[in-house]
Amino acid sequence: MQMSTGIGNAGSGPESAAVREPARTTARHSAGVRAVRPARLPGTLTILRTMIRNPIEGWPPEVYEAPLLRSSQVGRPCLFVMAPELVHEALVEKADIFVKDNVMRRTLGPALGEGILTANGAHWRWQRRLAAPVFRHDRVMGMVPAMIRAAEATAERWASQQGQRVDVAHEMMRTTFDVIADTMLSGAPDMDVERVAEAITDSLDSIGWPLALSLLGAPKWMPYPGSRKAAAGRAYLRGCMQAAIDARRAAGATDGADLTSLMLDAADPETGQTMSDEQIIDNLLTFIAAGHETTALALTWSFWLLSQYPKAAARLRAEVEAVAPHGVTPENIDQLVFTRQVLQEAMRLFPPAAVIVRSATEDTTLGAEPVHKGEALIFPIHAIHRHRTLWEQPDAFNPDHFTPEAVKARPRHAFMPFGGGPRICIGMMFAILEGVAILATLARRFAPEPEIPMTPEPQLRITLRPRGGMPMRLKPAGDAGI
Ligand code: HEM
Q: What CATH number is given to the structural domain containing 172?
A: 1.10.630.10
CA atoms within 13 A on the CB side of 211: 22
End-to-end CA distance of the chain: 32
Question: Comparing C-alpha atoms, which of 58, 292, 74 is closest to residue 174?
Answer: 292
The CA distance from 292 to 281, in Å, is 16
Contact 336, 323 (CB under 8 A): yes
Q: Check residue 114 and report its DSSP letter.
A: T
- Please report whether residue 78 resides in a domain: yes
Long-range contacts of 368-376 (CB under 8 A, 24+ apart): 368/32, 368/33, 368/34, 369/34, 369/35, 369/68, 369/70, 369/79, 371/79, 372/77, 375/76, 375/77, 375/78, 375/79, 376/73, 376/76, 376/77, 376/78, 376/79, 376/101, 376/103
Q: Which amino acid is at 472?
A: M
Average pLDDT over residues 367-371: 95
- pLDDT band at residue 175 using 50, 70 and 90 as cut-offs: very high
In terms of DSSP bridges, do strands 471-473 and 165-167 run parallel, antiparallel, or are they unpaired?
A: antiparallel
Mention every residue, 6+ apart, whose C-beta is less than 8 A from residue 244: 185, 188, 191, 260, 284
CA of 207 to the centre of ligand 1 (A): 18
Atom of ligand 1 nearest to the CA of 381: 10
pLDDT at 191: 74
Q: Mind listing the pLDDT tens digit for each residue in 414-436? A: 999 999 999 999 999 999 999 99
For residue 377, what pLDDT is reported?
96
Let me know if residue 280 belongs to a domain.
no
* Atom 9, ligand 1: residue with shortest CA distance: 418
Q: Which atom of ligand 1 is nearest to the CA of 176?
A: 27
Cα of 424 from ligand 1 centre, angstroms: 7
Predicted confidence (pLDDT) at residue 187 exceeds the cutoff of 80:
no
314 in any annotated domain: yes
Q: Which domain holds residue 420?
A: 7-240+287-480
Task: Give the pLDDT of residue 256.
Answer: 57
pLDDT of residue 5: 27
- Ligand 1 atom at minimal distance to the Cα of residue 292: 27
For ligand 1, the distance from its centroid to the CA atom of residue 102, given in whole angstroms, is 18
Indicate whether 143 belongs to any domain.
yes
Atom of ligand 1 nearest to the CA of 119: 40
- Cβ-contact 125, 104 below 8 angstroms: no
* HEC profile of 202-217: HHHHCCHHHHHHHHHC
Least confident of 338-347, 369-378, 449-458: 449-458
CA of 150 to the centre of ligand 1 (A): 21
With bands split at pLDDT 50, 70 and 90, how would you rate the model's confidence at 470?
A: very high
In a domain, 256, yes or no: no
- Sort residue 74 into left (φ over 0), alpha (ψ -120 to 50) or beta: left
Q: What is the mean pLDDT of the chain?
A: 84
Mean pLDDT for the stretch of residues 192-212: 74
The dihedral built from the CA positions of residue 402, 304, 413 and 126, taken in this order, carries a sign that is: negative
pLDDT at 358: 95
Question: pLDDT per residue over 1-35, tens digit each?
Answer: 333 322 333 333 333 334 333 333 333 344 455 67
pLDDT score at 1:
34
How many domains does the chain fold into? 1
Per-residue pLDDT at 183 exceeds 50? yes
In tens, the pLDDT along 111-167 reads: 788 889 989 998 899 889 888 888 889 889 999 999 999 999 999 999 999 999 999
266 Cα to the center of ligand 1, angstroms: 21
Return the residue whose CA atom lies nearest to atom 3 of ligand 1: 294
Hey, whose CA ends up nearest to atom 27 of ligand 1? Answer: 291
**Does the annotation list 240 as a binding residue?**
no
- List ligand 1's pocket residues with C-beta within 6 A: 116-117, 128, 286-287, 290-291, 294-295, 298, 352-353, 356, 417-419, 423, 425-427, 430-431
Tens-digit pLDDT profile for residues 244-276: 888 888 877 655 567 788 788 877 767 777 888
Specify the residue with its C-alpha closest to ligand 1, atom 21. Answer: 425
Residue 167 lies in a domain: yes
Closest Cα to atom 7 of ligand 1: 418
Per-residue pLDDT tens for 447-464?
Answer: 999 988 778 888 887 788
Residue 417 resides in a domain: yes
Average pLDDT estimate for 168-188: 85
